[in-house]
Amino acid sequence: MTAATEANGSTAAGAFSNGRPGTRTARLSAIEQALMTHVVTSQSQLSSILAAQGIEVTQATLSRDLDEMNATKTRMPDGTVAYTLDDQPPRRFADSGVDEKAEAHMARVLSGLVTSVARANNLIVVHTSSGAAQYVGSVIDRQTVAGVLGCIAGDDTVMIVCSDDDVAAARADWLLNIA
pLDDT, tens digit (0-9, with 9 covering 90-100), for 114-158: 888 999 999 999 998 888 899 888 888 888 788 899 999 999 999
Question: Residue 24: exposed, middle, or buried by beta-carbon count in 10 A (0-12, 13-18, 19+)?
Answer: middle
Cα–Cα distance for residue pair 114/95, rounded to 1 Å: 21
The more confident residue out of 80 and 93 is: 80
CB 128 within 8 A of CB 103: no
Q: Mean pLDDT throughout 158-173?
A: 92
The answer on pLDDT for 71 being more than 70 is yes
Q: List domains and CATH numbers for the chain.
A: 3-85 (1.10.10.10), 94-178 (3.30.1360.40)
pLDDT for the residue 95: 57
Q: Which of 33-42, 95-104, 107-116, 117-126 has the lowest mean pLDDT?
A: 95-104
How far the first Cα of the chain sits from its last, in Å, is 33
